[in-house]
Amino acid sequence: MCAATGAMAQTSLNPSVRVATPLNQVNFGATSVPPLPQPEALWPDPFGWNTWLRDRGVAFLLDNVNEFAGNVGSVTPGYGLRKGSSNAGQYAFENDTDWERLAGLTGFSTHAIVVGRYGIPASRMFGDNVAPSQEIYGAGGNVVVHFVYGYGEETLWQGRFDVAAGRIPFLNDFSSNPLYCNFMNNAFCGNPKASSDNTAHSSYPDSNWAVRFRVRPTTDTYFQTGVYFDQAGIYGNTQYRTGFKLNGADINGESMPIEFGWEPVFGHGTLPGHYKIGYARDTVDHQDVYYDGYGDAWALTGLPRRRDHGANAAWFLADQMLYHFKGGAKDAGVTFLGGFYYNDEDISMRSQQYQAGFLARGFWKARPLDGAGINFAYIRESALAAKTQELQLQQGILPGNLLNGAYGPQSYGMNLEVDYQIHVYRGMTIAPDFQYYFNPGGQRVLRDTAVLGFKTHIELF
């Protein structure tokens, strides 16, 4: 478990953990580089090589996340949908190197991850395409090794200034929170799902050429910004199947986010919180969900969709520990989670997302590393996309073939998730999980339904 955050310490969460950690909680030790990640592991030091490497500034991590889910509720008849279950997972291999310790390069470190992914989410079987029941699926190219990111990072003045450059996922640093991956539904983990609606915002496990700057004027505040060079077909096999196609020939714009964060600790140092507000503008040409190039409905005219230049996104995310269990670890308590995300509805499927929930850890003295969570999301679909879907139905287009693959006009949907995380052994957790879908995929034509499953995480070393 990740003591600083209470999150299941998935390898992929390390960048967002570092964003969410104020300076007064970072022990830089003898170097200017933040400490290398060292989650609890099944084999923390096999044959002593882990200690030998870390003493020289080199860390390797290997983990597996697996998510199983099945639909136990009703399925809407007449659309070819069905009950069923599926499995999805990811193995990830990470390297982090402190080059100050290894070669004397003050403040410099590098970070890289490759993954392999498998499976699909069960929610597709009952018609949802908005909040996948298993967040770990997809975008891995269906290959044995998929390159996620690789970048260099320079940290100066004990963390007051930090700059990173290389192949970086936009959403690793912005609108992220490692606490969200205590859950399995993609509405929550690893970012609010609406954040990846704009394909100019690269999402793990895909990345762009980018440079990112972060300044911490005080120990509990930060400001970060950057430029991410967007590439066409970010989630398509042509560009990103293996992730090793690193040329910039198809760069078609830039995304420029800004984010302000406040990370106070109340209750005499026992109640940590994280508050962040951000905005992003891009210069990419997006396909309009309703209008053609002449300002008419493309669903009626049959003309190509209008290209809208640039789009906006904004977000506010917060988590705050409300109660700390006396005598427990730093993350032993009850924490509130909440957030809001906005997208331009003329280019997005999810125009708004609201979410709120609670996490609790350390409430059972006999099992201090177990945890429980409940989270709720409300996702508002684009009203313009719904108008297009209505027109498509009038034109005789069959359900399942509408814009966004919908079975009917999409308006809003809600997701409820409850889980219990069982700390099985050092580096191993299993979390039985219950989800309930109200208007699956934001489609009122589909019946509400329930999903049961579990999420496992094994950190091997």
Identify the pLDDT of residue 5. 42
**Residue ranges, the chain, pLDDT below 70:** 1-10, 12, 233-239
Domain ranges in the chain? 11-459
Inter-residue contact 147 to 243 (CB < 8 Å): yes
pTM as predicted: 0.92
The amino acid at 7: A
222-245 pLDDT, tens digit each: 999 999 999 876 666 666 788 888
Inter-residue contact 132 to 149 (CB < 8 Å): no
Inter-residue contact 229 to 254 (CB < 8 Å): yes
Identify the pLDDT of residue 2. 39
Q: How many CB atoms lie within 10 A of CB 124?
A: 18
User: Cα 388 from chain centroid?
Assistant: 29
Q: Is 283 exposed, middle or buried (0-12, 13-18, 19+ CB in 10 A)?
A: middle
Inter-residue contact 90 to 117 (CB < 8 Å): yes
> Could you tell me what percentage of the chain is helix, strand and coil, using 3-state DSSP and rounding each to the nearest 5?
15, 45, 40
Identify the pLDDT of residue 29. 77
Q: Which residues of 161-175 are buried (b: 16+ CB within 10 A; e: fewer)?
A: ebbbbbbbbbbbbbb
Identify the pLDDT of residue 234. 64
Cα 267 from Cα 20, distance rounded (Å): 19
Identify the pLDDT of residue 4. 37
SS3 436: strand
Dihedral in degrees, nearest 10, Cα atoms 226, 230, 164, 137: 120
The overall longest dimension of the chain from CA atoms, in Å, is 68
Q: CATH topology for 11-459?
A: Porin (2.40.160)
132-151 pLDDT, tens digit each: 999 998 888 889 999 999 99
Identify the pLDDT of residue 444. 95
DSSP β-ladder status, 146-156 and 161-168: antiparallel
Identify the pLDDT of residue 3. 36
